[in-house]
Structure 1
């Protein structure tokens, strides 16, 4: 009987401590957040594509910039959350529109990129969160095309997935800074013409690598 009473008392102590552990999580890691992003952006044909049009493999490099928002929940020292991003990039490649290898495309630039997904993290220190993330991404490539006489601006819409990992550091009780690496693969796309019509979707293989820094605040 004494053993049973001691066991119940220990269980009660553990249960009462669990909410306290969740409450001890720095509020900079929980709740609704908004932030700004900037970093490196590189997009290129994937490993299944022949990219040797000019004799070497081509990566379009640029500066990524944008905003993100999310909501995170604390489960003791483990956090889960949902998030979304709207970003752009300065990446651009220009070619001679008369070169048949480029199908009349005079320039291709990386346009807006939309992302929605989830993340999960672990507090490795009271003010430091390590996390992984993954979700859906929809990107746009803006194209300046020519039929030999008339130039037109059109775009490709790319669909795929994104995986990433990062470190987030609390700054006080509401602000934070983070650094993360993300890999995206786009596996299908459609082409949107200047007249508003859209082709059917077709298979592609396009890779994207990004190293991004961010700062934000919780509400």
Structure 2
């Protein structure tokens, strides 16, 4: 039976003391410059359509949990349009909850943990209001899954590095000249992978079919 989780309650309170000279700029935010942010949200990885098991309804074939990390970026505000580049390093608590009632065949036998996720990409947005930006994004993602598998005699404890692409959309609100908050949905598709052996060269690349969905919130600073 598929597991349903409802997550995301995040609140942030800030006190801002504005300098008199900066008061003239209020109401017309400039999204230009480098930025850093802290990210947290809901993360789920699922077997894709070509590897989904529709025969055994006991197989959940998904892992979900809390995603957290940091991001950096640089944006250029061209008036009504903002363009930028960005990168992230995140991790996740998502892992299999293996039981006698089912097996996560989309990820292999045994235990699977979602590991670090590297992302680099670009975004473009339009100002909905002077301090609110609606944007879309896309880029490259390299996610790691930590796999522990056994056949009763031999044990495999290795990392699988996966390559894929990511698309997303979100809203960014400028709380002040240098503080902002964001909410974002993104979808990632992983189609190639390799086993990252600890004591041997990495395996040849092989095809996979894994989908990833994330709903995240961020708070950050622009310099």
Q: How many residues align?
A: 196
Distance 1:71 1:24, change over 3 A: farther
In structure 1, the partner of 2:135 is 131
Q: What RMSD in Å do the two structures reach over aligned CA positions?
A: 2.5
Distance 1:195 1:105, change over 3 A: farther
Whole-angstrom distance in 2 between the partners of 1:36 and 1:101? 31
In structure 2, the partner of 1:144 is 148
In structure 2, the partner of 1:50 is 52
Distance 1:25 1:31, change over 3 A: farther
Report if aligned partners of 1:104, 1:148 keep a CA contact under 8 Å in 2.
Answer: no
Distance 1:159 1:101, change over 3 A: closer
Query: Secondary structure in 2 aligned to 1:29?
Result: coil
Report if aligned partners of 1:28, 1:174 keep a CA contact under 8 Å in 2.
Answer: no
Q: Give the drift of 1:48.
A: 1.4
1:160 paired residue among 156, 164, 172: 164
- 1:81-112 superposed Cα distances (whole Å, 9 cap, x missing partner): 00000000000004379x99869843100000
Q: Which 10-residue stretch deviates more, 197-206 or 158-167?
A: 197-206
Query: Secondary structure in 2 aligned to 1:209?
Result: strand
In structure 1, the partner of 2:14 is none
Whole-angstrom distance in 1 between the partners of 2:83 and 2:135? 9
User: How high is the TM-score relative to the length of structure 1?
Assistant: 0.81
Matches within 5 A, 1:69-80: 69-80=72-83
Q: Give the drift of 1:150.
A: 5.0
In structure 2, the partner of 1:186 is 190
* More helix per residue: 1
5+ long unaligned stretches in structure 1: 1-22
Whole-angstrom distance in 2 between the partners of 1:168 and 1:100? 40
